[in-house]
Amino acid sequence: MASRRVLSGLRAVRQPPPPLLLLLLLLGPWAAAGHAGKYSREKNEPAPPSKREPAAEFRMEKLNQLWEKAQRLNLPPLKLSDLHTDLKIQERDEFKWKKLKAEGLDEDGEEEAKLVRSLSVILAKYGLDGRKDSRVVSSNFVDHGPDDESLEDPRLEKLWHKALPLQAKTSGKFSSEELDKLWRELQHHKEKVQEYHALLETLGGAEESHENAIGPVDLRGVQAEALASRHAELKDRLRSIGQGFDRLRRVSHQGYGAETEFTEPRVLDLWDMAKSANFTEKELESFREELKHFEVKIEKHNHYQKQLEISHQKLKHVESFGDQEHVTRNRERYATLEERTKELGYKVKKHMQDLSSRISRARHNEL
């Protein structure tokens, strides 16, 4: 009887444990740790912050490379702000073109060619094309004058120096504000000429490629139409440059008359083009009112540009002589002004494009 009880006990010991019990035995230490996880040091101590790469300024790598190159060239803050605006517009247009291409709506490649031309203008305008003679090394703050920034055109320099003696109170031709206005107009004219030459060079390369192209006759015909369109664009720009120079020459000799409706160079250009476009009288009046709002937007941007320049000069002074608290405070103010100036610059540029497109459509309807 006793022996039977011993054998029965041995059989019970030799039986394998239930699966659940075996799992708990195998995972015992880890299960216990998991159960007490909320009381562990790892759960109650904050994790070290992850190192994140600084966000890129643009979504397109090639534009980021241009932006970094401009910063290495130590362009003045206002030029950097303007460049940022131009690159943002370029990026927006490139993404639009990618969508058009995916939908098969740019068969002749004209939209792509426009992007190439606009990028070439940006490279030339800010000295990013590797040419030493086109590099911009000075500020565009309007109070500097030709002693700090050259107009790079003997004809424009002559007009400027012609106007300087007329600033005297005895002549009454130019007030200090009007002289600043003339300087901005001369600078704007210089930029228009630079853009024209950049487009002309780009068109020359396109024509050479077209002449050497081997392909279907119908495709070459489409390319020829695109080249004709670019020639028309250059012709319009050249006419605008000629009209603008004639006006500057008249102003430098006679001063600003009371009949001047607008003051900003870009608005003056748009108004001159609008008057020669195929607008009805009602449409022209509506366009005039919109230009007034556009000019207010430009003036606001100009105000922030001046504040940014002042903040930059103050920051450099504080970094040389101030304590860390003053340096930090001025850096924060400069960063805020820089961001606001970029935002306004983008809005001005986009509005400028919209107004120019309306004029182009009106001229196209006339043709």
For 314-345, the pLDDT digits (tens) are 998 888 887 888 889 999 999 999 999 999 99
Q: How many domains, in total, are found in the chain?
A: 3
Q: Is residue 6 part of a domain?
A: no
Sign of CA dihedral 296, 301, 302, 307: positive
Q: Is residue 348 part of a domain?
A: yes
Return the pLDDT at 226. Answer: 63
Residues 239, 276 within the same domain: no
Q: What is the pLDDT of residues 79-90, one digit of tens each?
A: 899 999 999 999
Instruction: Identify the weakest region by mean pLDDT among 8-17, 226-235, 248-257.
Output: 8-17
Query: What domain range is 106 assigned to?
Result: 58-137
The separation between CA 184 and the C-alpha centre of its own chain, rounded to angstroms, equals 20
Pair 253, 265 in one domain: no
In a domain, 17, yes or no: no
- Between CA 323 and CA 302 the distance in angstroms is 31
DSSP 8-state class, residue 59: S
Q: The domain spanning residue 356 has which CATH number?
A: 1.20.81.10
Digit-coded pLDDT (tens) for 32-75: 444 445 445 544 454 554 444 556 889 999 999 999 999 999 88
- Closest by CA to 264, choosing from 226, 211, 301, is 301
Q: What pLDDT is stored for residue 351 in this prediction? A: 94
Statement to judge: residues 256 and 266 lie in one domain: no
Helices (H) and strands (E) counted in the chain, each on its own, are 13, 0
Angle, vertex CA 146, rays to CA 142 and CA 151, nearest 5: 95
Residue 138 identity: S
Q: What confidence tier does 124 reach under pLDDT thresholds 50, 70, 90?
A: confident
Q: Are residues 221 and 315 in the same domain?
A: no
Return the ∠ at Cα 53 (arms to 71 and 345), rounded to 5°. Answer: 40
- Sign of the torsion formed by the C-alpha atoms of 281, 285, 290 and 294: positive
268 and 255 share one domain: no
pTM recorded for the entire structure: 0.67
pLDDT of residue 4: 53
Residue 301 has pLDDT above 70, yes or no: yes
Token duo for residue 95 = 């993404």
Task: Write the DSSP assignment of 246-288 as a string of letters.
Answer: HHHHHHHHH---TT----SHHHHHHHHHHHTSS--HHHHHHHH
CB 233 within 8 A of CB 273: no
Residues in Cβ contact with 298 at an 8 Å cutoff, skipping those fewer than 6 apart: 264, 266, 267, 348
Which residue carries 């043709």 as its tokens?
367
Are 79 and 305 within 8 A, CB to CB?
A: no
Q: Is the domain of 248 the same as that of 219?
A: yes
More confident residue, 94 or 230: 94
Domain match, 277 and 218 both: no
Single residue among 137, 156, 181 that ends a domain in this structure: 137
pLDDT band for 133, please (50, 70, 90 cuts): very low
Among 222, 238, 260, the domain-final residue is 260
